[in-house]
Structure 1
Amino acid sequence: MGISRRNFLSAAVTTGVGAAFMKRIPQIFPHTNAKEAAVSGIKLTYRRYELKLRHVFTISRSSKTVTPVIFADVTADGITGTGESSPNARYHEDASTVTAFLDRIDLSRYDDPFEREDILDYVAGIAPENTSAKAAVDIALHDWAGKKLGVPLYKLWGLDRNKVPVTSFTIAIDTPKVMQDKIREAEEYPIYKIKVGLDNDAEIMKAVREVTKKTLRVDANEGWKTKEVALERIKMLQDNGVEFIEQPMPAAQLSDIAWLKERVGIPIMADESVLSLYDIPKIAEAFDGINIKLMKSTGIREAMRMIHTARAFKMKIMLGCMIESSVGISAAAHLSPLVDYTDLDGNLLITNDPYTGLTLKDGRVIPGDGPGLGVVPREG
């Protein structure tokens, strides 16, 4: 009896063969004749920038009003591809660690950016972690290839950009009154992601439901520390018609999350518990789905692998983001026709996005039709 591709992939990942198998998945871009693609030398540069938030952004573990990001530029053959790093302390990164990591990369050892697999393997081997720094290089290489071929990324992958899921819009933790005001201000968005994880979760949800009947998704950002508290809070969320709950407890408490999954009536999505495809087999029994973020998963290449692996485990998939400009959000948006849910609002939460090219249409973040990422620097 033959084995299906899905069953083979699931078995391969679970038994440890997955890494070897996934490295043999065909490259995202088509093969190109070496003579046609050959270019002379690759240059990597970077620029620091500070994104300013419209409102104080508070989750269960931190607050911020600005977010430093680093734009990485890969230049070869007269073409520049741009990527973005939005570092997060939860994953042991900040602007200084990103620039220090980028300083260690020597792309001049390669002649052709189409050698992306080898280049990204080299970048990955420089040091562990540094996920958003690696993502910046990954995104820049993909942008370069799309520009070189004159095609937007979604077309290279055979996707329909009009089939992206509706994005949620994040309402960060604040006083219940301020959160109500934020919802009124964000009236154009059909889905809200409500941040919780503190002692007044029930008060927040009551206030939210007083001003909207729209679809709600909730993110605790590991805020509940005991399974009993988490169970009580999730039952309260169910009573408020919440679609799903994201990362209710710390990633280290996997057995407690599995205990929760058996006792609640809404899906539980993993965020902090899943960074790479290797995490998926470990957490599949405890979660109903995963939230993939390019900044914690080292970029587009790993995100694509994670999408296929999660499908093999019959898990739901969401594409999320950090606070990012249109560069990082565009990279995820091009992938979004492949997933079930999106939370791609990072550029919508800031006041000084230095790039443009995305379109918000009926609650969907539509990638641009220009080559590569389809974004360009904003005039002025």
Structure 2
Amino acid sequence: MQLSLKKYTLSLKHTFRISREAHDKQDTLVVGLSLNGKTGYGEATTNPYYKISIESMIAEITAVEGDLATFDFTTPEVLHAFLISKALSNFAICALDLAAHDLYGKLEGKPLHKIWKTNIDNYPITNYTIGLASIDEMVAKMKETPWPIYKIKLGTDNDVAIIKALRKHTDATFRIDANCAWSAKEAIFNAPLLKDLGVEFLEQPLKADDWEGMEQVMHQSVLPVIADESCIEETDVEKCALHFSGINIKLTKCGGLTPALRMIKKARALGLKVMVGCMTESTVGISAIAQLLPQLDYVDMDGAMLLNDDIAQGVVISSGGKVIFPALGGSGVTMNS
């Protein structure tokens, strides 16, 4: 396989702020894998929380470029196992794994959801994320993009008051993501107030390693609680089953579609709800997530919707959340430049 790497800097429509950071731009790495006249594309963004940079990913991937050039590509799963053996980071593996899946589907002439024999007649609608800002700014963002489900980023001293204020302007379902900013006491206290305000669930209210606190929340919260920072890779799923109602799988964190498919299966066996989430990423990554839609309870795949300009074409999310799947095989990705 022939490898290509290209860095992009994605420009956001609005400052994206969560409890621990804020940014107006997002660096991302797009990987291309070419074979027999077809090219598959994958993506992984930088992330300071997980200490991932463009430079670190490029160094990891170029270190195995020679191996990829002579690799006998049969399935994405075989390539993923090889990459694991080379001890690459999950972010670098994700970019390669998504490219491998896109390539595989293009070689087969089928979208991934058809290869997996799933039905796209029914699928969950993505939420649209409202980052932390002043209440006026958050309301303005909702009015700019009317949507049936909003994920609201919180993590302040006035979180319930924020939701009360936002609720005056929409009947949409709310999902709350505190990004590890609350204590167990706060989560348990806030839950009934938020439920009365039309909140569907809480996402990662406590620090990722506060398992004792999450056990309290799990048993006392009137709202379901979904793991994000506490569920990074496959080995975390079973532990999360004792402390959460469901898991949010991020392809970049777990290492791509290959482990995500196994995580979905494991979560189902444990009775967990399943969500897949995105980073601030382009249509390259979002199109891969979309292939999983029929297997999910919830999805957060609005990353490309938050950008001023996209870098690729693939899955299209229309007004109200309807997804238009490309006929092109794999994830259906083509690059704009």
Instruction: Please classify the TM superposition score into its range, dividing by the shorter chain length.
Output: over 0.9
Aligned equivalent of 2:77: 117
Aligned equivalent of 1:331: 288
- Check whether the contact 1:164–1:366 (CA below 8 A) recurs between aligned residues: no
Residues 1:229 and 2:186 are matched in the alignment:
yes
Secondary structure of 2:253's partner? coil
Q: Radius of gyration: which is bigger?
A: 1
Cα displacement string for residues 183-228 of structure 1 (whole angstroms, at most 9, x for unaligned residues): 11111x210000001212122112111111211111011011x322
Aligned equivalent of 2:259: 302
- Check whether the contact 2:40–2:333 (CA below 8 A) recurs between aligned residues: no
d(CA) in 2 for partners of 1:138 and 1:209?
40
Residues 1:53 and 2:12 are matched in the alignment:
yes
d(CA) in 1 for partners of 2:181 and 2:87?
30
Aligned equivalent of 1:127: 87
Q: How does 1:41-80 map to 2 (within 5 A)?
A: 42-80=1-39
Aligned equivalent of 2:250: 293
For structure 1, the 5+ residue unaligned runs are 1-41
Aligned equivalent of 1:39: none
d(CA) in 2 for partners of 1:84 and 1:289?
25
The percentage of counterpart residues that share the same residue type is 37
Aligned equivalent of 1:19: none
d(CA) in 2 for partners of 1:110 and 1:377?
25
Relative to structure 1, is the Cα distance of residues 115 and 159 closer, same or farther in structure 2, using a 3 angstrom cutoff? closer
Cα displacement string for residues 146-200 of structure 1 (whole angstroms, at most 9, x for unaligned residues): 111111111111122232211100000000111011111111x210000001212
Aligned equivalent of 2:223: 266
d(CA) in 1 for partners of 2:206 and 2:291?
30
Which residue of 124, 140, 165 corresponds with 1:165? Answer: 124
d(CA) in 2 for partners of 1:363 and 1:76?
34
d(CA) in 1 for partners of 2:141 and 2:22?
16
The total of aligned residue pairs comes to 335
d(CA) in 2 for partners of 1:167 and 1:357?
16
Aligned equivalent of 2:323: 365
- Check whether the contact 1:289–1:315 (CA below 8 A) recurs between aligned residues: yes
Residues 1:152 and 2:111 are matched in the alignment:
yes
d(CA) in 2 for partners of 1:295 and 1:253?
23
Which residue of 53, 70, 73 corresponds with 1:94? Answer: 53
Aligned equivalent of 1:354: 311
For structure 2, the 5+ residue unaligned runs are none
Letter matched to residue 163 of structure 1 = N
Q: What's the CA shift for 1:268?
A: 0.2
Cα displacement string for residues 258-314 of structure 1 (whole angstroms, at most 9, x for unaligned residues): 101111111000001011221111121110000011111100001000000000000
Secondary structure of 2:292's partner? helix
Aligned equivalent of 1:322: 279
Cα displacement string for residues 72-91 of structure 1 (whole angstroms, at most 9, x for unaligned residues): 01112222111111122222
- Check whether the contact 1:333–1:366 (CA below 8 A) recurs between aligned residues: no
Aligned equivalent of 1:18: none
Letter matched to residue 230 of structure 1 = A
Comparing 80-89 with 311-320, greater Cα deviation is found at 80-89
Q: TM-score, normalised by structure 2?
A: 0.95
Secondary structure of 2:3's partner? strand
